[in-house]
Copies of this chain bind each other. A is one copy, B any other.
Amino acid sequence: MANRPLDILNKALQTSVIVRIKGGREFRGVLNGYDVHMNLVLQNAEEIQGGEVTKKLGSVVIRGDTVVFISPSQV
């Protein structure tokens, strides 16, 4: 059965996701919310570059138009 992109985000709520943004940086955290623009809320977020955690951010709102992909760990 097909899943629409926002269905996947809905199923991934409260689970760990990787978010890549334009320019190549990634954020890892627990997906706590989203909206139709793919603006995202992550909790316990970390910024990752080249596989290394470069910054601990706590909660963060990521603007949808900078997002390349969102990859849930367990969907």
Query: A residues near B, CB below 8 A?
Result: 2-9, 13-14, 18, 21-22, 27, 32-35, 38-41, 45, 57-73, 75
Give A70 to B58 CA distance when docked, in angstroms. 11
Q: How many copies does the complex hold?
A: 7
A61 touches which of B9, B21, B60, B61 (Cβ 8 Å): B9
Give 9 nearest A-B pairs by CB, closest first.
A5-B39, A3-B33, A60-B71, A2-B33, A61-B70, A59-B75, A5-B61, A57-B71, A62-B69
B8 close to A59 (CB less than 8 A)? yes
Q: What are 10 A-B contacts defined by CB distance under 8 Å?
A: A2-B14, A2-B41, A3-B32, A22-B22, A22-B66, A57-B69, A58-B71, A58-B72, A61-B71, A63-B68
